[in-house]
Amino acid sequence: MTQTINTSGYSAITDSIRNEARRILGDGTVSAVIGYTSSRREGSTQPTVITKSEDADKLLFTAACLNNLVVYLTKAKKDVPHEGRIGIIVKGCDLKALVGLLGESQLKRENLYLIGIPCNGVLGSLFNPSAELNSETIAPKCRECTDRIPAGCDFMPDVETVGLPELNPFYSSEIARLEALTPVERWEYWKEQFSKCIKCYACRQVCPFCFCEQCLCDRNRPQMVEQTPRPSGNLAWHLVRAMHLAGRCAGCAECERVCPMDIPLNLLNRKMAKELKEMYNSEAGFEVREKGPLTSFDEHDDQSFIR
């Protein structure tokens, strides 16, 4: 049965972030605000950077505001101003990515003005941006989201969002299903998935944590990962990507959303997050972690697999 999800608070949130953006741009608190604005297609949205308080009315928040804007704060995005204090609109999952970047010393908190959204879920895709938000159209990540309400922001619209109804989790049940298969079946599953990859690197481009100046996968002396979209190079790319994001990924699922080939990238991310939580009790959240699980260690870590 399709359950409708209440997004009535979103128009009040829109008003509230417009007022706040006007205020902070007007009094010079920030030099720019990164937010969402309406896009050409009816109902769809796109990221925008506004620098004048007159433009504040262009901002909005709807269930079609899918992007994780935090990616524009990274040094990989050179066309976005990085000077002065920047305002940014963040949902809970986006904030976790931002907090991760703070922990990796990529950003300074005092250079940011965070506008948090008490989020009630967004759509899974912009295929039909005006679609009603319901248990069918909601993004898989929102189904099991436990961090809808950001914490530690500089401003949060004073709007009550009702919260989500009980929805079947997507990633955790998918992981459980795969774990129950035999290794051969799992290999077949992933082989099928990875073989679809066309190496467009959209997933890398959109990820806030893929900010390296030069990706290991682009290097060719020595070439560690084959660059052409062929089955064996694809497998290597996906394993390297999952490993480099293990312990860092915030679960914003942007990689999965932008993948033109519908590869379930976030499934690997969630699996790694789950294992690292179990082994080292460390996961992405709203608290800045000085070190991630794979950049720290404990002398008493489990080594039952080592002879």
Partner 1 sequence: MNPENKNRFEPKIIAFVCTWCTYAGADLAGTSRMQYPANVRVIKFPCTGRIDPVFIIKAFQQGADGILISGCHPGDCHYIAGNYHARRRFAAFRKLLEFIGVDLNRIQFSWVSAAEGGKWVDVVTDLTERVRNMGPMVEFKELALEEQWSGGLDSPDLQQVYEAI
Name the minimum Å distance from CB 70 to ligand SF4.
Answer: 9
Name the minimum Å distance from CB 195 to partner 1.
Answer: 8
Residue 129 is encoded by which pair of tokens?
Answer: 């941006």
In the complex with ligand SF4, the residue whose CB is nearer, 2 or 105, is 105
Q: How far apart are CA 142 and CA 75, in angstroms?
A: 28
Give how far the C-alpha of residue 115 lies from the chain's centroid of Cα atoms, to the nearest Å: 16
In the complex with partner 1, the residue whose CB is nearer, 15 or 275, is 275
Q: How far apart are CA 45 and CA 126, in angstroms?
A: 9
In the complex with ligand SF4, the residue whose CB is nearer, 102 or 258, is 258
Name the minimum Å distance from CB 256 to partner 1.
Answer: 16
Query: 181, 63, 168, 179: which is closest to 125 by C-alpha?
Result: 63
Name the minimum Å distance from CB 208 to ligand SF4.
Answer: 6
In the complex with ligand SF4, the residue whose CB is nearer, 59 or 272, is 272
In the complex with ligand SF4, the residue whose CB is nearer, 18 or 96, is 96
Site for partner 1, rule CB under 8 A: 178-179, 183-191, 195, 216, 224-225, 230-232, 235-236, 239-240, 242-243, 246-247, 268, 271-272, 275-276, 279-280, 293-299, 301-303, 305-307
Q: How far apart are CA 262 and CA 57, in angstroms?
A: 35
Note whether 97 binds ligand SF4 by CB under 6 A. yes
153 sits in the region (left: phi over 0; alpha: psi -120 to 50; else beta) called: beta
Burial letters 150-176, b for 16+ CB under 10 A, else e: beebbbbbebebeebeebeebbeebbe
> Other CB atoms closer than 10 Å to residue 195's CB: what's the count?
15
Name the minimum Å distance from CB 186 to partner 1.
Answer: 4
Name the minimum Å distance from CB 31 to ligand SF4.
Answer: 26
Name the minimum Å distance from CB 75 to partner 1.
Answer: 23
Applying CB under 6 A, among 181, 200, 216, 224 the residue interacting with ligand SF4 is 200
Per-residue binder mask for ligand SF4 (CB under 6 A), 234-273, x = binder: -----------x---xxxxxxx--xxxx-x-xx--x----
Q: How far apart are CA 45 and CA 81, in angstroms?
A: 21
In the complex with ligand SF4, the residue whose CB is nearer, 203 or 225, is 203
Distance between first and last Cα of the chain: 52
Q: Per DSSP, what are the bridge partners of residue 260?
A: none
Query: 283, 2, 39: which is closest to 136 by C-alpha?
Result: 2
Contacts with ligand SF4 by CB under 6 A: the residue count is 28
Residues interacting with ligand SF4, by CB under 6 A? Answer: 97, 197-203, 206-209, 245, 249-255, 258-261, 263, 265-266, 269
